Amino acid sequence: MKTITARLKSWASILDEKAEAQARTTATMPFVFPHVALMPDAHLGLGATVGSVIPTLKAVICRRRSALTSAAA
């Protein structure tokens, strides 16, 4: 496990720079508690890093509905 910042920890042995930057941004959100965790398969995603655990305090993060999901619904 590697501590990237006090609020970002990674279990990924290989982590793309863009995925790390995305996770760093997520970790700065005030409702994230205690830290974002990146799993071994973490990679860049749309909105959030795929393979991340984002625990929150008094907040819920809903997933975005894609155009394909909306059209099928």
Compute mean pLDDT per 10 residues along the chain, 73 residues long, and list them: 97 96 97 97 93 94 65 52
Q: Which amino acid is at 49?
A: T
Q: Which helix (H) or strand (E) holds 24?
A: helix 17-27
Domain enclosing residue 18, as ranges: 2-72
* Model confidence, pTM: 0.81
| Number of compact structural domains in the chain | 1
What is the H or E stretch that residue 40 is in? strand 36-43
3-state secondary structure of 39: strand
Whole-angstrom distance, CA of residue 26 vs CA of residue 39: 15
